[in-house]
Amino acid sequence: NRSGLIIRQHSTEADQLIDFASATAAGLSSMPRRLQCRFLYDARGSELFDLITRQPEYYLTRTEAEILATKARFIRKICGATTLAELGSGNSTKTDYLLRAWLAQAQSVRYIPIDVSEAALREASRNITASHPATQVLGINSDYRGAFPLLREISPVTVLFLGSSIGNFAGEEMSLFLHDLALSLCRDDFFLLGIDLVKERQTIEAAYNDAAGVTQEFTRNLFIRMNRELGSSIDPSAVQHVAVYNEAKEQVDICARFSQRQAIHIAPLGQHVIIDEGEAINTEISRKFRLETFLPFLEGYGFTAEEIFTDERSWFALLLLRR
């Protein structure tokens, strides 16, 4: 029984620390200062993100789940008995609708969650094998691109990239991602992509400024992680979470604004960066999409829309793309 097997990435803990330290040093000394959002997801950060998805203002997860709940069987009909591979699977809760639809049509299904968090993979794998014993789970503990070379081996495949995580990529990162993914898939493989759509400012801004303050905690946690792993001693209460929708760019800009001057020590590199009072460090962007421009853009990378699913209010879309 190979269910629940996890393949670990090659990088060691020391490699990961150097990666965090050097990306942080580079980002803090660039102007405008910016940190890479992938570092938000340590164990506590993943827990906080999971909590964000359950806040009343954070409509993304709920809306996408609603679409999946009604369309999963239809999606399975189009994709056939493909392997399901999920990028950035987290705790895999939304995947449940798809697994059910797949299992309704076949005796077993192969599910390959790909995530940087080994803890999240273990939990997902445990939950899925418990609720769907006929699912063969093979977890890959790696970042997305590290797992791309494997996709060819598991074709025919349906790659899932849900939750509008693609919106967290800056322009060149998104292009590189789509280019590499297209090259890694075989002809007629599928790509199921969740995207958050452009809508009125109030709705978007509320989602990134929840009343319970969970998103604020999520932003602060990045600096708490820096204190723990990089030896800095930032006062977390000096970090204010600021999330503003930029209508021209159609993206939420998320920053940490410092209410007091801080010296950030990056011990593994022996560096210090001074952040002045009132200065902001960008921690994330979250882009919002328009179908009329994004679909032709995807075409340019070799992805053709087979079906487009949205909710009643057209707040979120699930694109079923064919390579």
- Binding region for ligand AVI (CB under 6 A) out of 8-16, 147-155, 159-167, 312-320: 159-167
Sort 318 into a burial class: Cβ within 10 Å, 0-12 / 13-18 / 19+: buried
- Site size for ligand AVI (CB under 6 A): 12
CB of 9 to ligand AVI, least distance (A): 20
Residue in the block written with tokens 């991602």: 177
Residue 165 CB partners (closer than 8 Å, separation 6+): 87, 88, 194
Query: In this chain, which of 20, 79, 163, 195 binds ligand AVI, going by CB under 6 A?
Result: 163
208 binds ligand AVI (CB under 6 A): yes
Instruction: Give the residue at shortest CB distance from ligand AVI.
Output: 286
Q: How many whole angstroms separate alpha carbon 216 and alpha carbon 210? A: 8
Q: How many whole angstroms separate alpha carbon 134 and alpha carbon 137? A: 9
Residue pair 308/286 in contact by the 8 Å Cβ criterion: no
Nearer to ligand AVI, 218 or 303 (CB): 218
- Binding region for ligand AVI (CB under 6 A) out of 20-28, 163-171, 273-281, 308-316: 163-171
Residue 47 CB partners (closer than 8 Å, separation 6+): none
Query: In this chain, which of 21, 28, 48, 60 binds ligand AVI, going by CB under 6 A?
Result: 60
Interacting residues with ligand AVI between 232 and 291 (CB under 6 A) = 284, 286
Interacting residues with ligand AVI between 282 and 301 (CB under 6 A) = 284, 286
Query: In this chain, which of 63, 89, 215, 232 binds ligand AVI, going by CB under 6 A?
Result: 215
Total Cβ atoms within 10 A of residue 190:
23
Nearer to ligand AVI, 54 or 126 (CB): 54
Backbone torsions φ then ψ of 27, nearest 5 degrees: -65, -35
164 binds ligand AVI (CB under 6 A): yes
Residue pair 157/185 in contact by the 8 Å Cβ criterion: yes
168 binds ligand AVI (CB under 6 A): yes
Nearer to ligand AVI, 132 or 225 (CB): 225
- CA nearest neighbour of 286 among 175, 199, 165: 165
Residue in the block written with tokens 């791309």: 148
Q: How many whole angstroms separate alpha carbon 230 and alpha carbon 5? A: 32
Nearer to ligand AVI, 142 or 164 (CB): 164
Nearer to ligand AVI, 93 or 108 (CB): 93
Q: How many whole angstroms separate alpha carbon 115 and alpha carbon 280? A: 29
117 binds ligand AVI (CB under 6 A): no
85 binds ligand AVI (CB under 6 A): no
| Contact residues for ligand AVI, defined by CB under 6 A | 52, 60, 163-165, 167-168, 208, 215, 218, 284, 286
